[in-house]
Amino acid sequence: MYRYVYSRVGNHEDAEDLTSRVFLKAVREVDCACSPMMIRHWLFQVARTTLVDHWRERYRLVTYSLEELLERDREEWAEEELPMRGSKAAARLQRLLLYLSTCSP
């Protein structure tokens, strides 16, 4: 299970944490009446959903509405660090909107 999770996240700390989450979920919900092959398949399904949740949490972006961006002054944005955990395109878009908000009449 660890190798599967590690192949999806690429670092040992996250893989260890996520593998432990998978087994904690499995212990809570296991049905002993299943065959070993069914349990193995089910365990990988639990791992898959745990990984999906992990990536959703990790890449959740802080967003601003266009109205909010246009209403704020340049000085306010200069004082506040913009959260840019997303892609380069998202960072460029935020800088463009900041620039446009300073150019509006």
Write the DSSP assignment of 54-81 as a string of letters: HHHHHTPPP---HHHHHHS-HHHHHHSP
Is 74 found in the same domain as 50? no
Residue 16 has a pLDDT of 95
Is 38 found in the same domain as 6? yes
Name the pTM for this structure: 0.54
- Determine how many CB atoms are found less than 10 A away from the CB of residue 18: 22
Is 34 found in the same domain as 79? no
Number of domains in the chain: 2
- Whole-angstrom distance, CA of residue 96 vs CA of residue 6: 37
For residue 26, pLDDT over 60 is answered with yes
Is 6 found in the same domain as 46? yes
Is 48 found in the same domain as 13? yes
Q: Which range of residues forms the domain containing residue 45? A: 2-58
For residue 105, pLDDT over 90 is answered with no
Is 53 found in the same domain as 15? yes
According to DSSP, residue 86 is labeled S
